[in-house]
Amino acid sequence: MTARIIDGKAIAQQVNSETALRVQKLAGRGVTPGLAVVLVGDNPASQVYVNAKVKKCAELGIHSERVVMPASTTMPELLELIEKLNADPAIHGILVQSPPPPQIDEGKVIAAISPDKDVDCFHERNVGKLLIGKTDGFRPCTPYGVLVLLERSGIDPSGKHAVIIGRSNIVGKPLAALLMQKAAGANATVTVVHSGTPDIARYTRDADILIAAIGKPKFVRGDMIKPGATVIDVGINRGKPDPVTGKSKLVGDVDFDEAVEVAGAITPVPGGVGPMTIAILMSNTVTAAERTL
């Protein structure tokens, strides 16, 4: 068996095309969606992520503000900036790129962002709405991106056993909350395993839908997968350097070469979940703008 490849780039393009149409409709009513992306410090990986978001905004007609603050920025200085962005009617979405420098309390930063502009869905108010199934908050970018991948690939989680490897606040927990909802595109039986779970493979072999978000390269081997299962790889890791070139490739939390021979469908890394994260961020920003009308 060779698994069907779930093309995250193609599905993200579908979502982005729909978002661009929504932007055009807003323009007809005199509104341009605005996203502020704040970067504290000069982390190279964070710079890449921020630039990708700003670039995608430009492609879709979304106004963006890229705010770069020095690594020495204090909490009061950052909170002052967030307060200004909260009050700026041209800005509908705010995100502060993670991770910040050690003197920055990320929890306080998230709490300071207006829930109405929390397009990453990290604020406790939006997380609470997510958990109880309310739809007037935001849906978190990577977890909801996974649901969209499943839906547009014709994979219905309803009645299926979904196993999530990882319990982070960014992916594992919100994804479990989304999948367990009594709603279309969800209604799964969800198991979350993590670093404290003995014999993780015991659970993964029973998964109809297996989602790896543990941050360990090639953690999921072929013998941990139920034949025919759908495998969603959220991980992005640097693999071992090539002995000849010295360069390292991006690899996921799943050993793709082994998994593709067992699974029924699988996302690649790169080109799977990654493009969906930015696509949903753009969509959430436009949703925030639409709610101001």
What long-range pairs does 73-78 form, CB within 8 A, spacing at least 24? 73/40, 73/41, 73/101, 73/104, 74/103, 75/103, 75/104, 75/105, 75/108, 78/38, 78/40, 78/104, 78/109
Task: List every span in the chain annotated with CATH 3.40.50.10860.
Answer: 31-117
Q: What is the pLDDT of residue 235?
A: 95
Q: What is the pLDDT of residue 161?
A: 98
Q: What is the pLDDT of residue 151?
A: 98
Catalytic residue numbers read 53, 97, 120
Q: What is the pLDDT of residue 246?
A: 77
Q: What is the pTM of this model?
A: 0.95
Look at the domain 31-117 and name its fold: Rossmann fold (3.40.50)
Which of the residues in the chain have pLDDT under 50?
Answer: none
Reported CATH class of domain 140-273: alpha beta
Task: List every span in the chain annotated with CATH 3.40.50.720.
Answer: 140-273
113: CB partners within 8 A, 6+ apart? 82, 86, 94, 95, 96, 122, 123
Q: What is the pLDDT of residue 1?
A: 66
